[in-house]
Structure 1
Amino acid sequence: MATSSEVSEKGRSATKRFIGGVVEGFYGRPWTMEQRTELFKREQKWGLNTYLYAPKDDYKHRMYWRDLYSSEEAEQLVTLISAAKQHNIDFIYAISPGLDITFSNSKEVAALKRKLDQVREMGCTSFSLLFDDIETDMCPADKQAFSSFAHAQVAVTNEVYQHLGEPETFLFCPTDYCAAFCTPNVSQSSYLHTVGDELLPGIDVLWTGPKVVSHKISVESIEEVSSILKRAPVIWDNIHANDYDPQRIFMGPYKDRPTELIPKLRGVLTNPNCEFYPNFVAIHTLATWCKAPADATPRDVEMGDEEQESCYSPQKALTLALTDWLEEFLSTDQPTACLKKESSDEEPMQTDLGEHSYVPGPGENPLYTAEPLTLDDLKLLCDLFYLPYEHGATAKMMLHELNWLKCHSQAAAIKTEQTSEWCSRAQIFDDMCEAVVRMFNRLSNAPNRSILYDLYNYICDIKSGVTLAQAYVKSLGGFGKASAQLMNADPEPWGFRGGLSGEFQRMLPGHGNRDLFKYSPKTSVYCIRPYCAEDKMDVQRIFVQMQRERQIKGSSTTESPLISDILSTGKVLPSPQCALVLEDDFGVCGYMLALTDAKEAAASIQRDTSDSVFEKFPSLVTGQVLPRVTDPSLAKRMIGQLLSTIRSCGSRGVFCELRHTDRRMLDFFTKSSTFRPLEMGSLPPDVIAMGTTL
């Protein structure tokens, strides 16, 4: 049987409206006052009711939280709070004192109250205390006063809440604000238990779900945390946040949150992209989700059954949002009045084209006319910039087709049964690339420049990447050499992606764990580790075993010597940090070895190789993987790590020598997107050399 206090709390919760809206809580440049006012208009139009002011880079919100607002700043906030009220939006002012507050110091708590009193005098009636993204160690004074970090936070939060008169809306963001942060888990978290037991019942708690950026939020997970917190949480949803990755933006629909969550939540606030205008889809689809009936069956696919029209469909919500967004794209965001000619010697920036329009003559190029943006263009845009854990349908298809075309590239050069299929799929890929270019051109000429400027860096980047892939596929089919821009020794800087950050990531183990194409290993564990002296016998064993298998399958028992053989047999040691071995449950099952300077090794087997070859490709790499390893990505990862190491040593290029009978390694390097056949002159007839520039 429920206690009287529980019944009272349930009654109070029932009178509160569901919080649905936007939190400006990202790191980076805050939105402008004009953009926030525009947000209030949109929220009111779409049925949302809340705005949480929490920009991390507003100094007086976080870093200098003790400082009062100046008269000019206060005037701006008064205007903003008034604008929110005009549109029936609950303006919640948040403050983040957790970076350096001393919880046990009464003067610190007084400063916090004074700051919030100033905001209350501006007309604000809803508040929030945020303790996210801070260190959890307490100072000595706080350790003497409080038994735990949670007790310190709860004590100050309760005191401030009561000081403000127990406002109807007061939000608390815990330091452990997602399941991933809870030790050891949600149900056993002493921190969350303290919050649930000690935080006053009128204070609501913010929660991001299983992770900081949650892929999915289940009903079961919310029921679990609600039982610990003794209240329904308000979801601070980072599914569209992009402040953690400057190369990504998210314009897919609000999804993977079943509508059965609605009656189990106090509310949902989306913390979207840093860029204001591209958030149209994120906020519009959240509004559609909030209006969906809680007892409807959620669907993530388009529904054709009329009886299910009331269900929330992410794809239908996306189409509704894009239909409205298209109207904004096609409307101008700046005065359209043409400037009149002035009586001066200089031409004005704009003229009245109605009186003096230019008409091209016979044989001259026609005037450029931009095609209007379409709904399909916006759907493609969102597919290319979908959500953190998935690409849109078109983007998935493009990646799948490019991967297939790479893996079957030999069909384009050699007349086989797959040749026609390869050409057909190459044409489909080319058409998809052209659609991206057309979308870019139409977006670039859209009348609303404010939206374009927020999107331009992203669409320019994706257009460049797509056109490079398009050129690469054409070169595979023998229709051009444009992809040489990627392969030559001195490419343009726009041919690279990621800059220094990308270089670091490629050098670290585990790169590619988010790749679209994954190959499941057949054994329980694979380990790639640095080669050590004790591995010499295992490497020799693998080399001899693979040599015997080639001889059994071939007609000859003798093989031409390779420069790399002296590495595999241990006659020459690999260069420092240029050797890796692969282990599975049964032991060492593969290796990759390299020499940063292979000239002396070539001389040791009397290989007559021209100096020009060593100038372009001074380094050598070799490797073998036993047949029981069926996962090709492991060899790819090893070679990728070695190439990064060799490049960091200053080498310009790497080559390898392969026997025609070594089908597995020949197939691996042939399918590599970087290694290409080399003309080395003195090679034995049964040997092929391949190389790549760094």
Structure 2
Amino acid sequence: MQANKKHTTPLGIIEGFFGREWQWEDRTNYATFLARHGYDFYIYAPKSDKHLRMQWQQDWPTATQQKLIELRGSYKDAGIQFGIGLSPHEIYRDNSRDQRQHLKTRIQQLNNLQPDILCILFDDMRGDIPGLADIQIDIAHEAAALSTASRIIFCPTYYSFDPVLEKVFGKMPDNYWQTFAQKLDSQIDIFWTGEKVCSPDYTREHLLLVDELIGRKPFLWDNYPVNDGAVKSNLLQLRAFTQSHAQLEGHVAGHAVNPMNQPWLSQIPLASLPLAYQQAQNYSPESAFTLISNDLCGSALAQQLARDLAAFQDRGLKNLSDTEQLALRHSYSQFHSNPFAQEIIDWLDGVYLFDPACLTE
């Protein structure tokens, strides 16, 4: 299924989840997949890569550097922009000259990969710090000045109206978002996840409100179909994107999707987003799922997936009886060597169960 690109909003994926990471082969394969389906960019930012997060000051080992150079080449060959997401973990809690020198050195190292996009990410960090916005803006401006990337995207610590962020990361400082509107370079985009951390829909009213609040159109970080948390890892989120996604053209600066830990199964919902933008009011999530699953998986497996969709996405693994799990394992084991079916079997076998340790490593 070749996408007929008619949208102007940049669409892409950000590999930005916790837990079991993709293999290098999976990442490479996505260059072709994204190009075929009308996507524009890929951002490498796995939470498990300590050289982008907890040990962000340290460059990758030589072997990893080589893998990233090869990966960057694959995306260039496919005509897909390549991005890197750097999370200088709580750099603002030690805003010393040494830390700033580390930042300068790390950005220069990232420049060796010739990224088209650089993301400076402050998500999933403590935020109850006086003057937080000003410190983060200063860091973002410094990184932007050093980077050779043509696009800079900034992720604030509070990137949604969801109260869970203050519950986990502390009370948001006063006028946090308004400070970005006033002081953050207007050429720098800001990631936003919607009314919730995992928002099922996006209304125009909400996006206009955010536009006014942060002084620019939000760049969506869409946490569907990601399933890396304690609750979501229990699910396989395979349905196509909702109808609301067909109404986003012109209201967002870009749209980055955070996929599942399962790279093959992620392709099913991911392939629907460009269709939503292209077809607008004519977009049907149900029709998109049928079309895409048949195209990617073959008709027999697509029919099986349609039958089991509610079990995978609504009930989840923990609510399936041993008998049901055994029946599902039998059904999908018949699709020999099919990577989509194999990921379902692995999910049933507990390969993707959430490990709280992944949040602190």
What's the TM-score bracket when you normalise by the shorter of the two chains? 0.7 to 0.9
Q: In the alignment, residue 158 of structure 1 is paired with which amino acid?
A: H
2:248 aligned with 1:270, yes or no? Answer: no
Residue in 2 that maps onto 1:319: 290
Q: Distance in 2 between matches of 1:237 and 1:281?
A: 16
In the TM superposition, 1:14-29 aligns within 5 A as: 18-29=9-20
For residue 453 of structure 1, report the CA deviation from its aligned partner. Answer: 3.1
5+ unaligned residues in a row in structure 2: which ranges?
1-6, 167-172, 357-361
User: What is the aligned counterpart of 1:383 among 302, 310, 332?
Assistant: 310
Alignment match, 2:341: 452
Match of residue 359 from structure 2: none
TM-aligned CA distance change 1:63 to 1:460, over 3 Å: closer
RMSD value, Cα: 2.9
String of CA shifts for 1:354-381, please: whole Å, max 9, x gaps: xxxxxxxxxxxxxxxxxxx343212123
Letter in 2 for 1:385: F
Cα contact 1:262–1:290 (8 A) shared by 2: yes
Q: Residue 627 of structure 1 aligns with which residue?
A: none
Aligned length: 334
- After TM superposition, the structure 1 = structure 2 runs for residues 427-466 of structure 1, keeping only pairs within 5 Å, are 440-459=329-348
Q: Aligned partners of 2:65, 2:43: CA distance in 1, in Å?
A: 17
* Pair 1:282-2:269 in alignment: yes
Task: Specify which of 162, 181, 184 is matched with residue 196 of structure 1.
Answer: 181
Instruction: Report the equivalent of 1:652.
Output: none
1: CA distance, partners of 2:327 / 2:125 = 46
User: In 1, Cα distance between the equivalents of 2:197 and 2:292?
Assistant: 26
1:212-227 to 2 correspondences below 5 Å = 212-227=197-212
Which residue does the alignment assign to 1:153? Answer: 136
Quick one: distance in 1 between partners of 2:151 and 2:336? 40
Letter in 1 for 2:335: A
Mark the CA change 1:213 to 1:151 in structure 2 (over 3 Å): closer, same or farther. Answer: same
Quickly say closer, same or farther: Cα 1:17–1:64, change in 2 above 3 A: farther
Q: Does 1:163 align with 2:173?
A: no
Alignment of 1:541-620 (within 5 A): none
State the 4+ residue runs in structure 1 displaced beyond 6 angstroms.
Answer: none
For residue 257 of structure 1, give the secondary structure of its aligned residue in structure 2.
helix
Q: Give the distance between the partners of 2:192 and 2:11, measured in 1 at CA.
A: 14
1:604-683, aligned counterparts within 5 Å? none
Deviations 1:75-125 (A, max 9, x none): 111101111111111111111013355463232122112112112122223
Conserved 8 A contact 1:102-1:108 = no
SS at match of 2:104: helix
Name the aligned partner's letter for residue 129 of structure 1: I
- The C-alpha deviation readout for 1:589-608, integer Å capped at 9, x for no partner, is xxxxxxxxxxxxxxxxxxxx
Deviation for aligned residue 1:256? 5.1
Q: Deviations over 1:171-216 (max 9, x none)?
A: 1000011111488xxxx96110011111101100001101111132
Amino acid at match of 1:272: P
Rounded to whole Å, the distance in 2 between the matches of 1:103 and 1:199 is: 21
1:21 match: secondary structure: strand
Q: Does residue 1:44 correspond to 2:35, yes or no?
A: yes
Q: Match of 2:79?
A: 88
Asked if structure 1 preserves the Cα contact closer than 8 Å seen for 2:92 and 2:136, the reply is no
What is the rounded CA distance, in whole Å, between the counterparts of 1:253 and 1:134 in structure 2?
31
Aligned position for 1:577 = none
SS in 2 for 1:441: helix
Residues in 1 aligned to 2:207 and 2:141: alpha-carbon distance in whole angstroms: 24
Amino acid at match of 1:76: K
Cα distance in 2, alignment partners of residues 91 and 85 from structure 1: 7
* Structure number, greater radius of gyration: 1
Distance 1:31 1:290 in 2: 27
Change (3 A) 1:72 1:438: closer
Secondary structure in structure 1 of the residue aligned to 2:255: strand
Match of 1:673 in 2: none
Q: 1:73 to 1:444 in 2, by over 3 A?
A: same
Preserved CA contact (<8 Å) 2:262 2:343? yes
Q: For 2:25, which of 17, 34, 58 is the aligned residue?
A: 34
Q: Which amino acid aligns with 2:30?
A: L
**Do 1:215 and 1:256's aligned partners in 2 also have CA atoms closer than 8 Å?**
no
Aligned match of 2:161: 179
Deviations 1:485-505 (A, max 9, x none): xxxxxxxxxxxxx9xx9xxxx
Q: Which has the higher contact order (CA 8 A, sep 6+)?
A: 2
CA distance in 2, matches of 1:273, 1:100: 28
CA distance in 2, matches of 1:445, 1:226: 50
- Give the SS at the match of 2:84: strand
User: What is the rounded CA distance, in whole Å, between the counterparts of 2:235 and 2:146 in structure 1?
Assistant: 42
Residue 239 of structure 1: aligned partner:
224
2: CA distance between counterparts of 1:127 and 1:116? 9
Which consecutive unaligned segments of at least 5 residues does structure 1 have? Answer: 1-15, 139-146, 297-310, 331-372, 393-397, 400-432, 462-497, 502-694
Mapped to 2, the partners of 1:191 and 1:76 lie a distance apart of 38
| Preserved contact between residue 158 and residue 200 of structure 1 (Cα < 8 Å) | yes
Q: Per-residue displacement from partner, 1:244-291 (whole Å, max 9, x unpaired)? A: 133222111111534222210011111121121211212111221232
